[in-house]
Amino acid sequence: MGDTLIAAVLGLLEGLTEFVPVSSTGHLLLSAHFLGFDSAGKTFEVVIQLGAVLALMVVYAAKLWQVFSTLHKDPASLRFVVSVVIAFLPAAVIGVLAHDFIKTVLFETPMLIAIMLIIGGVVLLLVDRLTPPPVVMDATALPLRKALAIGFCQCLAMVPGVSRSGATIVGALMLGVEKRAAAEFSFFLSLPTMAAAVGYDLLKNRDVLDFTAWNQIAIGFVLAFITGVFVVRWLLDFVSHRGYALFGWWRIIVGSLALGALLLGY
């Protein structure tokens, strides 16, 4: 398979998996491993995430404008922004402190990723059945303590295969946040988290970044953006009616296939 086609496949994977609780990073790293794809400083894998960030900003452009344009006069808007910032802080601090270990050890261990996919799938199936009755129905009105707790849950996703959206959604569900609201708060929290992670990655790897394959990066970026738009628009209605069990089974199947292939020496 040529590098351009691989770039297209990985771009689609990024857009399809970034906002659902299946671990986009795990899917990208395992796919790149089995397809023999590598980029200096993980430039490709880092930059195409911006396509997913842009997709989310486009879908929620009206909401974001409404919040930030009324920030100075609407206490509800201010409280919402504060809740997202509070939830973002734990990952920001731990991410900076543990960045090198995460990138050089955890990201280079396909076996760990496959195992975490399976474990995360089992957790999703259990949580989908055992969540307490929801007490918070609006993603923009989370109590600050719950927002902070969700932020600490997000830190678990620094282990590839856990899933950033999975960790935040599971945490929110267990804290009594309604299914749709849990997904939506995960969306909003992803904006500062992903932007900061991509920016820090680019800064740390600036000496080894390789943008010569700009056509592959462009293809991956555009496909991640397009598929990301569709996924964000589809996901909220889906989980409102059907929950998260589908994603749990998907994780278990993909993780099991990857683990089997790795044990066979692939």
pLDDT reading at 34 higher than 90: no
The CA distance from 21 to 220, in Å, is 21
- Under a CB-based contact definition with an 8 Å cutoff, are residues 154 and 90 in contact? yes
Burial 75-99 (b: 16+ CB within 10 A, else e): eebeebeebbebbbebbbeebeeee
Percentage of residues in the chain with pLDDT exceeding 90?
A: 57
- Under a CB-based contact definition with an 8 Å cutoff, are residues 45 and 10 in contact? yes
Kindly report, residue by residue over 183-241, the tens digit of the pLDDT: 999 999 999 998 888 888 777 766 766 666 678 888 999 999 999 999 998 998 898 88
C-alpha pair distances (Å), 222 with each of 17, 35, 57, 182, 229: 15, 21, 14, 27, 11
pLDDT at residue 64, rounded to an integer: 92
**Residue 260: what residue type?**
G
pLDDT at residue 213, rounded to an integer: 67
pLDDT at residue 42, rounded to an integer: 62
Alpha helices in the chain (DSSP H): 3-17, 24-35, 43-47, 49-59, 61-69, 75-104, 110-130, 144-154, 164-174, 179-204, 214-242, 245-263
- The pTM assigned to this predicted structure is 0.88
pLDDT at residue 178, rounded to an integer: 94
The CA distance from 216 to 6, in Å, is 9
pLDDT at residue 40, rounded to an integer: 55
CA angle 34, 37, 41 (to 5 degrees): 125
Q: Report the SS3 class of residue 32.
A: helix
pLDDT at residue 33, rounded to an integer: 82
* Cα 137 → chain centroid: 22
pLDDT at residue 153, rounded to an integer: 95
Residue 169, CB half-sphere, CA atoms under 13 Å: how many? 34
Kindly report, residue by residue over 149-169, the tens digit of the pLDDT: 999 999 998 888 899 999 999
The structural domains of the chain, with segments of one domain joined by +, span: 3-263
pLDDT reading at 105 higher than 80: no
pLDDT at residue 148, rounded to an integer: 97
pLDDT at residue 39, rounded to an integer: 64
Tokens (6 digits) for 24: 């986009």
Burial class from Cβ neighbours inside 10 Å (0-12, 13-18, 19+) for residue 233 reads exposed
